[in-house]
Amino acid sequence: MRRLLSRPGILWGAAADLGRTALLALVLCAAGPVAAWASCFPVSDPGYVALRPQVDDNPAHVLSVVAARLHALDRAGAAHDPRRLAALYAVQANAYAILELDHQARGAAQKGLALVNGPTDPLRLDLLSTAALDIYTQAGIRGAIRTIAAARAQQPEDSLSGVCLEIALGALERRANESALATRTLTQAYHDTETPARAAAHADAAIELSSALRGVGDFQEALPLVRQKIAWDAAHGDAEALSVSTYLEAEDLQAMRQFAAAIAAFGQARSISVSLGDHEGVAFSDMRICQLLTELGHYGAARPLCDSAAQVFAASRSTDVLKQTQVYLAKLDLRAGDPRQALRILDRVLDRQGTDMAPGVVGIAYRTRARAFGDLHDYGRAYSDLQEYLRRYRATVLARRLSLQATVKERALAQLEIARNAVLQRQLDLTRKRETRQTERLRWVAAAGTAGVLVIALLSYILITNLRHRRQLLRLATEDNLTGLPNRGRTMELAKAALEAAAAQHRPLTVAVIDLDHFKTINDRLGHAAGDHVLREFARVSRGSLRLGDTLGRWGGEEFLLILPDTTLDAALASVERLRVLALAIQVPCADREMQVRVTFSAGLATTADGARSLDEIIARADAALYEAKNEGRDLVRIDRESYRTASTGVRRALTLR
């Protein structure tokens, strides 16, 4: 996995808009097809046939063997067989490519290309593909696209070599940020390899197509394609490729918010990397597991993994992933109540304003630093960083949306170009097989008799038991064990569902971020038991005050997120004010009866009424309003600036009086 994930610095210029997930997929697809070219372009030269299978396992050794043979040919001084010499250069180019020596790989491939001709010559096509797939500058990629497209046009109709060149062309189009065009090309290649004789090329087309879909955020479609490649790698014992394809499966699961499954998949990728002695592969998995554990609130288990990954990335000078890991460490410091340490880390991370990091990670870094500034009561800088996060988030979402629209269109066109008669024939064959299987099953069911009834009864009992355990596990996974409120993950799910319903019904939705004032002082002076009492009591009185459809979830620490569907700013402000009065009545237990402790909170409100449609944007704006409330003295409710422009006169008068 190390050689497949060690290109970030080289590829970043070509993949700046894709983020880390798409970057890893791009790297995989840059290196992945090289292993299959031997089957795509069957070269018959004995030297090539003997050495090429060894390239993936020990490229350095193969390079020394090739160098010795080239030297021996030079010393002989006789006229050389051009094909024999070109075959040695092809092996040398592939070995250099595996070792990430792109310049040397292209040089060896060009030497070989000077010795062979013929548009369908397998040796020439092998050299041509290797040279093209080891180009990473935008200008070079454009030229490589033209070269591979011309070579593909010269191949016989429906030939394996033509399909393999089509896969290479799709990989190059995606490197050129032509995601829609790449999806169309790779969809065609994927369907053109749906035969047992082309199983290896089909697996390569699947992983390439999944990477194109992942690049535009279509993780639902990318996931089954990645799993197809995982099955192929496992069946053929390719541990290094399996570690990468399993890692990409985990990233798809993470993007789809299937956190438990994602952690398990990252763990599998990590185990494979450990068995290979691949320290960077282990570090990538550790970083992702740390990120997921942090999202789930398991901070103690997350920190050692992030610390370990950061050490490996620092030693290998992988700046971008090192900074990404440091962002997660800063979030852990914030959760541990050390905003100054978090701020020191984030200032180093953003020393170049994020130009040396993935765009998505830069946004998280600004948002996390805003929280650190807020915890240190530097609300001006907190607001500035939140604005920067929102600007970057909107730009990323817009670009992703446009790319996804174009990709969907191109993929639909590719599907129409596939031979319909062949598809109908396959469907007919499949229907006949299903009918045959169903007939056989009915015969077995009829013969089973009483035994079948007993089996059904046993299965019913197991199903009921599993459902009971599943409900218990689901409650534990979605409920905050201190307050009984939905935890952060469940709150986000409910908030997204409420936002989708509000958009579908054209009804307003208001979000409030609530933060208990001086909570750290309560913990420090009265102990954590008193602090836990305040959190539980606030949750209890809030549940009694809210409507049935409202959602109050624990957002983290002393912070809560309130989701108010079908609620205008006037009604939302009244609801939050009721909560504020109820909070004042909470009795805080303390040994000193003369000590008076008042429970107050500050809150920020944002609404969809002003046209906002992204949940992250609405929450970020509510967070910004919260910082304004904190900055103005606490025990206040504030509305974000965008929502304030659409607020009624009553809301503005109420805010002025408060």
Q: Please list the active-site residues.
A: 558
| Strand, coil or helix: 496 | helix
Q: Say how far apart CA 173 and CA 148 lie, in whole Å.
A: 11
Q: Say how far apart CA 323 and CA 309 lie, in whole Å.
A: 11
| Strand, coil or helix: 13 | helix
339-349 and 359-375 helices, crossing angle to 10°: 150
Q: Two tokens at 55? A: 């390239």
Q: Residue 350 burial (CB < 10 Å; 0-12/13-18/19+)? A: buried
Residue type present at position 101 = L
The Cβ of residue 467 has, within 10 Å, a number of other Cβ atoms equal to 10
3-state secondary structure 281-300: HHHHHHHHHHHHHHHCCCHH
3-state helix, strand, coil in the chain (%, to 5): 75, 5, 20
| Strand, coil or helix: 545 | helix
Q: Say how far apart CA 124 and CA 140 lie, in whole Å.
A: 19
User: Which helix (H) or strand (E) segment is 475 a member of?
Assistant: helix 450-478
Which residue blocks in 77-137 are alpha helix, DSSP H? 82-98, 102-113, 122-133
Q: Two tokens at 488? A: 């952060």
CA dihedral 407, 410, 411, 412 (to 10 degrees): 120
Q: Say how far apart CA 610 and CA 351 lie, in whole Å.
A: 35
Q: Two tokens at 70? A: 């080239």
User: If you search the block for the tokens 């299987």, which residue do you land on?
Assistant: 437
User: If you search the block for the tokens 């983020």, which residue do you land on?
Assistant: 19
CA 454 to chain CA centroid, nearest Å: 46
Q: Two tokens at 477? A: 């996974």
Cβ–Cβ under 8 Å, residues 34 and 102: no
Q: Say how far apart CA 492 and CA 296 lie, in whole Å.
A: 12
State the distance between the two ends of the chain, measured CA to CA, in whole angstroms.
59
| Strand, coil or helix: 372 | helix
Angle at 315 between CA 313 and CA 317, to 5 degrees: 65
Angle at 21 between CA 15 and CA 25, to 5 degrees: 70
How does strand 509-516 pair with strand 637-639? Answer: unpaired
User: Which one, of 624, 617, 621, lies nearest residue 606 by Cα?
Assistant: 621
Q: Give the CA diameter of the chain.
A: 104
Could you write out the DSSP letters of every residue in 228-256? HHHHHHHHTT-HHHHHHHHHHHHHHHHHT
